[in-house]
A and B are shown apart, each in its own frame.
Chain A
């Protein structure tokens, strides 16, 4: 293999593919990147056997071939170079990297040992606006359960129906759902559960990019492909395995009615909760005392080791008075994903599910269970 590339291009590529590489003790080959010549590109590939990322860098290839080298090491080294043009050459599995003032040799591995990235064949695909997709995922991703006890809720659920995409996640204490519009010409619904890690990878890699993302569905894998702006060729492909299983019918959990309806200014509400949270105990409990007559919420917390705090938040309240306790972390997580200046909090008794949602935006909904009040 012999090729010439621009330093910046390969640096961006390496930074993207290195993210997928974790610490893999049993199979050290996974700490590496596979660099492959392909027409006028260098193809960088890395994988953790769950997610795989391919990134194409425009290059002048003079000799075909491939090489496997440690990805973090290479990325660190390349980022230190000042020159624009780099030449790469493979010699007996080692990488010779040269530019104007540097001459280095990096020890590589046998490319035959690198995992083969499964090809996504016979796929059906649809296009979606990348930015709104990634923003939607980012609003949901943190809610998924981190425990592997129930694999299906450790992932992010995506349901592509005729005109909408619903993204949902839950850890059985709270649930978030985002709806975005999508053009699905296939007259077919697709429901997939993506591992949380893959979703993070998608957000990190593609989050800032304008344009359309191509999503390919094929059996128990899904491929996300983003093209190079200037030409009809993929820039990056993220390949993810799917979590098997049936996602719980979460729609049943979202209450349709409520007993107490609160509308509050987001920043103000958040500040009150954050203040109270400092005084909460081990289980992060903060207590709301909602008085619809006085139009006031009293937010309190106490901890025998720290002290206690009480604050009043006058706001719009309709319905029944109620005392209810929450885990402040769960509330804050939900509020931070609300983009509007005002939010609505709908309560359903002291042990029923509550809804947080933005005012004037019906695309996001966050359901949270209270703490058994004491």
Chain B
């Protein structure tokens, strides 16, 4: 007989002998936690219950237990306070509502052990065609960590929900599989951790702490680029966890093969599991996201304004939320919902922000950075392959995104003939159709140009 069943049948007997109030007061949150050598250990929620049960009801309880199993000779009581994490104690929505504008100590929301922020869950993650693969993969991983896709690698531009998805997996695993140890760590923290460990000669302790984890989540792994010692340590940690079927989840702003200065052995491992991308949300999804956010904040805005935001803030979900917040603050101060005119004025900085608009400098900068070149390399008069390719991409983007004329492009690149520019654009757009890798690269570059 299970401990739970034993206690249930004892309680069933006891309820006939004492008053309902007494029963509710003293037997609430009690349970049998062990049965061994004729001694049954009962856990009680507080010292009062312990005194009461052991002094007043001991005989009754013992009799009940004896009736079930005549080997039981003794009952012991220990105090075990209820875990603070009972599910019905979730922060109520009403208090959230009042305090939206009141900032609080962020540190308090984050779970110290896992570093996860409980705000990020699957429930408030909006799924659309742009992220459904990543979402499905993440969900599958959270249901069976370590076995479905290991590692899970999610990439996508700034402000599109990578961190949300990663933390949602962590939160879900903690919620459903309590025994799993989850650790969320940004790669910057990871690097600092390793550096400190090296300095304090405690690298072994650091390694041990990593090996105890069941689910390791590392955000923004592209920052590991060029940090060789960290990559080495990470490689070992990765292997140790992978061998034990521990889940590893990574995110980055680009696919593994586009991360420069990443060691080959790490790259191949990143690619060994499941790679899913998050691209830009479409109109419908952006609208759904806005509406979800509104619901979270218990406010409403006219449809035409939502439509305006959705149509004009396209590249970044975080900015979408920022735009929404600005309108809500206006709403709150003036007690009237903003009109479309007001909304246009308020959102000017979101929609026509200088950072949002692609310009010549930005394109050159992003292209150079993406291919890990110096900006001046692009203008060098050379036909080296590693430079020609990126240069052509830059020309292509100048043409496509800024509608530069061919002669203008040619002039920018050190007085080349305008036919060079025409050739470059034609070649890239041709390759763009055929070559998946290039398509991917250009999409990522574009994303970064626009998400600034």
Contacts and interface: CB of A to CB of B under 8 A. Distances in A.
A101 interface: no
A26 B103 contact: no
Interface string B54-96: 0110000000000000000000000101001000011110010
B352 interface: no
Given A26-B21, A149-B89, A149-B92, A172 B104 contact: yes
Given A173-B99, A283-B101, A151 B48 contact: no
A351 B105 CA distance: 10
A27 B22 CA distance: 7
A213 interface: no
Contacts of B81: 220, 244
Contact of B104 (A50, A173, A249, A283): A173
B393 to A, nearest CB: 39
Interface in B103-161: 103-105, 107-109, 112
Contacts of B90: 149
Contacts of A153: 108
Given A148-B89, A283-B98, A374-B329, A49 B48 contact: yes
Contacts of B329: 372, 374
B52 A253 contact: no
Interface string A92-124: 000000000000000000001001111000000
A283 B329 CA distance: 12
Given A153-B108, A353-B105, A219 B21 contact: no
B84 A244 contact: yes
B205 interface: no
Contact of B103 (A47, A148, A219, A351): A351
A151 B435 CA distance: 57
A248 B109 CA distance: 10
A244 B80 CA distance: 10
B208 interface: no
Contacts of A281: 333
A230 B25 CA distance: 40
Nearest to A52: B48
B46 interface: yes
B91 A147 contact: yes
A131 to B, nearest CB: 29
Nearest to B96: A149
B401 interface: no
Interface residues of A, number: 46
A371 B46 contact: no
B160 to A, nearest CB: 24
A152 interface: yes
B47 interface: yes
Interface in B326-359: 329, 332-335
A249 B113 CA distance: 12
A49 B45 CA distance: 11
A152 B84 contact: yes
Nearest to A330: B102
Contacts of A170: 105, 108
Given A27-B21, A149-B91, A374-B329, A118 B50 contact: yes
Interface in B293-332: 329, 332
A360 interface: no
A221 interface: yes
Contacts of B1: none
A220 B43 CA distance: 14
Contact of A26 (B25, B105, B107): B25
B91 A27 contact: no
B253 to A, nearest CB: 26
B306 to A, nearest CB: 21
A285 B90 CA distance: 27
Contacts of A371: 101-103
Nearest to A242: B81
Given A116-B52, A374-B333, A49 B84 contact: no
A334 interface: no
Q: What range describes how many residues of B lie at the interface?
A: 35 or more
Q: Which of B50, B95, B108 has the most CB of A within 10 A?
A: B108
Interface in A212-243: 219-221, 241
Given A220-B79, A241-B46, A253 B89 contact: no
Contact of A115 (B48, B92, B102): B48
B51 interface: yes
B48 A369 contact: no
A165 B403 CA distance: 69
Interface string A75-94: 00000000000000000000
A285 B101 contact: yes
Contact of A220 (B25, B47, B102, B105): B47
Interface string A354-374: 000000000000000111101
Interface in A105-162: 112, 115-118, 147-153
B91 A219 contact: no
Contact of B105 (A47, A253, A327): A253
Interface string B14-49: 000000011011000000000000000000001110
Interface string A41-65: 0000001011000000000000000
Given A147-B91, A351-B103, A370-B103, A304 B335 contact: yes
A153 B107 CA distance: 13
Contacts of A307: none
A50 B105 CA distance: 29
Contact of A173 (B24, B56, B102): B102
Nearest to A351: B103
A309 to B, nearest CB: 15
Contact of B79 (A150, A219, A370, A372): A219
Interface string A179-207: 00000000000000000000000000000
Interface string A289-313: 0000000000000001100000000
Contacts of B332: 283, 374
Q: Which of A116, A304, A353, A371 has the most CB of B within 10 A?
A: A116
Nearest to B47: A118
Contacts of B89: 148-149, 151
Q: Which of B90, B99, B109 has the most CB of A within 10 A?
A: B99
B24 A26 contact: yes
B84 A150 contact: yes
Contacts of B112: 246, 248-249
Given A152-B84, A283-B102, A371-B103, A172 B108 contact: yes
Interface of B: 21-22, 24-25, 46-48, 50-52, 55-56, 79, 81, 84, 89-92, 95, 98-99, 101-105, 107-109, 112, 329, 332-335
19 contacts: A49-B46, A50-B46, A116-B51, A116-B52, A116-B55, A118-B48, A149-B89, A150-B91, A172-B105, A172-B109, A173-B105, A220-B81, A221-B47, A245-B84, A248-B112, A283-B102, A304-B333, A304-B334, A369-B103
Interface of A: 26-28, 47, 49-50, 112, 115-118, 147-153, 170, 172-173, 175, 219-221, 241, 244-246, 248-249, 252-253, 281, 283, 285, 304-305, 327, 351, 353, 369-372, 374
Given A172-B108, A371-B102, 17 more contacts: A49-B25, A112-B56, A115-B48, A116-B52, A149-B89, A149-B95, A170-B108, A172-B105, A173-B99, A248-B107, A249-B112, A283-B98, A304-B333, A369-B102, A370-B103, A371-B103, A372-B103
Give 9 nearest A-B pairs by CB, closest first. Answer: A118-B47, A116-B51, A149-B91, A369-B103, A244-B81, A172-B104, A151-B84, A172-B108, A374-B329
